[in-house]
């Protein structure tokens, strides 16, 4: 039977939640700066206290039981609110301190988020920042993060979203001058089906689609990839395009410096699509002081003046 006189402490539940989020004892231990054996023993103690297994251990994975999943989903927002309350208590009218955890898509890590972080860290020297790069749309509260950054996804109704970075971006296709001299320059997106391509893949495993627009015409193609690289290693993909290994499609702002330098040439530039820039999103129930300061830095607005994503008229 469960030992109701010795219930798990909040710190112990935080360890369980980290194992649930990371999917393993070693990953959780690394994140918490603990030994895997300590994490495993703490989970066993919680299970003994509750009188029910929370995780199924195999040699390959750690999978939550139905009870474990239900517990994690219920305690995640409670622990997040407790963290926010502690951070607010640690902050004063004159200083912002504590931890800001952001779950972001890798697309903003090249040239959008780093300069904002630089300004933020210089402005608030007592704030620590942790960045988790993940291209999937995740429940930031369940993941223990204060906010996320994504492009145009449909967010839950209780989320607030504010623009971060350029309001309009685009994708571009390019190839090296030597490649185009040898293979010719395509005149229509479908011509790219006959060219070796350098494709990027999201961390979720999905290949980034090649989409083109001109006037009222929209074309989506799936060119055969000579090379596939994870989006987190996009600089390596661009470097290989510069070396002449194929046509690449990615963010226009990523390729623009190389096009201006002449080491890449634009391909089908009149077909490059435009789309809405990224959004910072977070729960309307939780606004710890470091997040409030970060929002103020990027928007110049007070939290009360921000609209929810559901109120925004344009979504990608």
All CATH 3.40.190.10 domain ranges in the chain, comma separated:
78-160+282-311
Choose the most confident range, by mean pLDDT, from 76-90, 135-149, 230-244.
Answer: 230-244
58: which 2 tokens? 């195999």
pLDDT 10s digits, 267-294: 999 999 999 999 999 987 768 889 999 9
CA-only gyration radius of the chain, Å: 23
42: which 2 tokens? 């703490």
Burial label for 261, CB within 10 Å (0-12, 13-18, 19+), is exposed
**Residue 139 confidence (pLDDT) above 90:** no
- Of 29-33, 48-52, 89-93, 203-207, the poorest mean pLDDT is in 89-93
Rounded Cα gap, residues 58 and 60, in angstroms = 5
**Residue 217 confidence (pLDDT) above 90:** yes
DSSP assigned state of 188: S
Rounded Cα gap, residues 54 and 70, in angstroms = 9
All CATH 3.40.190.290 domain ranges in the chain, comma separated:
168-276
Per-residue pLDDT band for 88 (boundaries 50, 70, 90) equals low
Per-residue pLDDT band for 143 (boundaries 50, 70, 90) equals confident
**Residue 312 confidence (pLDDT) above 60:** no
Q: What are phi and psi of 248, to 5 degrees?
A: -120, 145
Note the pLDDT of residue 251: 94
Note the pLDDT of residue 175: 97
Note the pLDDT of residue 79: 81
Spatial CA neighbour of 161 closest among 287, 280, 299: 280
All CATH 1.10.10.10 domain ranges in the chain, comma separated:
10-64
**Residue 7 confidence (pLDDT) above 80:** no
Class of domain 10-64: mainly alpha
Average pLDDT rounded to a whole number, residues 65-75: 89
Give me the CATH topology for the region 168-276: D-Maltodextrin-Binding Protein; domain 2 (3.40.190)
280: which 2 tokens? 């910072």
Note the pLDDT of residue 211: 96
Class of domain 78-160+282-311: alpha beta
Rounded Cα gap, residues 186 and 311, in angstroms = 41
20: which 2 tokens? 């649930």
Average pLDDT rounded to a whole number, residues 60-70: 86
Share of the chain above pLDDT 70, in %: 87
Note the pLDDT of residue 309: 44
Query: What torsion do the CA atoms of 238, 244, 249, 253 make, to the nearest 10 degrees?
Result: 50
């Amino acid at each position: 039977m469960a030992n109701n006189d010795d219930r798990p402490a909040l710190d112990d539940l935080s360890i369980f939640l980290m194992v649930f989020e990371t999917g393993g004892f070693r990953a959780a231990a690394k994140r918490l700066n603990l030994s895997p054996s300590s994490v495993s023993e703490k989970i066993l103690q919680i299970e003994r206290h509750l009188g029910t297994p929370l995780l199924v251990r195999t040699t390959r994975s750690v999978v939550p039981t139905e009870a474990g999943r239900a517990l994690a989903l219920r305690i995640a927002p409670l622990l997040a609110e407790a963290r926010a309350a502690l951070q607010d208590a640690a902050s004063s009218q004159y200083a912002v301190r504590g931890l800001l955890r952001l779950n972001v898509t890798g697309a903003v890590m090249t040239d959008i988020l780093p300069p904002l972080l630089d300004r933020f860290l210089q402005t608030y020297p007592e704030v620590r920042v942790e960045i988790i790069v993940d291209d999937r749309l995740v429940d930031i509260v369940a993941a223990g993060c204060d906010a996320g950054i994504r492009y145009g996804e449909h967010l839950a109704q209780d989320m607030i979203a504010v623009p971060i970075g350029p309001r309009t971006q685009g994708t571009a296709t390019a190839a090296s001058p030597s490649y185009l001299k040898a293979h010719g320059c395509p005149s229509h997106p479908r011509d790219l089906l006959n060219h070796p391509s350098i494709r990027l893949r999201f961390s979720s495993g999905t290949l980034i689609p090649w989409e083109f627009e001109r006037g009222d015409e929209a074309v989506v193609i799936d060119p055969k990839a000579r090379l596939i690289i994870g989006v987190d290693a996009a600089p390596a993909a661009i470097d290989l395009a510069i070396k002449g290994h194929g046509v690449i499609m990615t963010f226009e702002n990523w390729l623009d410096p190389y096009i201006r330098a002449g080491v890449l040439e634009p391909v089908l530039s009149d077909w490059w699509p435009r789309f809405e820039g990224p959004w910072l999103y977070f729960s309307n129930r939780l606004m710890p002081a470091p997040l409030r300061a970060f929002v103020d830095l990027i928007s110049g607005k007070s939290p009360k003046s921000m609209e929810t994503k559901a109120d925004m008229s344009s979504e990608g």
